[in-house]
Amino acid sequence: MIAVVQRVLSSKVEVDGKTVGEIEKGINILLGVEKEDKIEDVKKLVDKIVNLRIFEDEKGKMNYSLLDIKGQALVVSQFTLVANLKKGRRPSFENAAPPEKAKHLYQEFINEISKFVNTKSGIFGADMKVFILNDGPVTFILDSKHL
């Protein structure tokens, strides 16, 4: 499971011109599910994300986590994160989980992170427009296989 985690001042996702999820200060998470991912990947990734000290203290040092600042999370499914780009010029999505499994683990991720912070989300499989006001910019790429 791969997540692109961005510290944001605000973020929202629209489907068909309507806002389906919107947050203020917190993190935007773009989430890709791989075919070998399991619920353990969800739990490891959520634990890492909510405890990452990526928010600045009064001295400008990254010392606070999402939990510390009582921030929000916006989770958006993005299967292109798991693309294989080694051969040719067209991405291969052979590593992506089948849609049913990906949707299930995406929802489990939302359920798990919601236990810790106020969480909003996009709509799995929809054509989404994501608006991200990245703060810093601060962006991290996390892979549950390397945590």
Which of 6, 55, 72, 78 is catalytic? The answer is 78
Which of 79, 109, 119, 124 is catalytic? The answer is 79
Which of 145, 139, 8 minimizes the C-alpha distance to 82?
145
Phi and psi at 73, nearest 5°, equal -130, 140
Is 139 assigned a catalytic role?
no
Is 119 assigned a catalytic role?
no
Whole-number Å distance between alpha carbons of 16 and 8: 23
Is 107 assigned a catalytic role?
no
**CB distance 128 to 15 below 8 Å:** yes
Cis peptide before 98 (omega within 30 of 0): no
SS (H, E, C) 26-68: EEEEEEECECCCCHHHHHHHHHHHHHCCCEECCCCCEEECHHH
Catalytic residues: 78-80
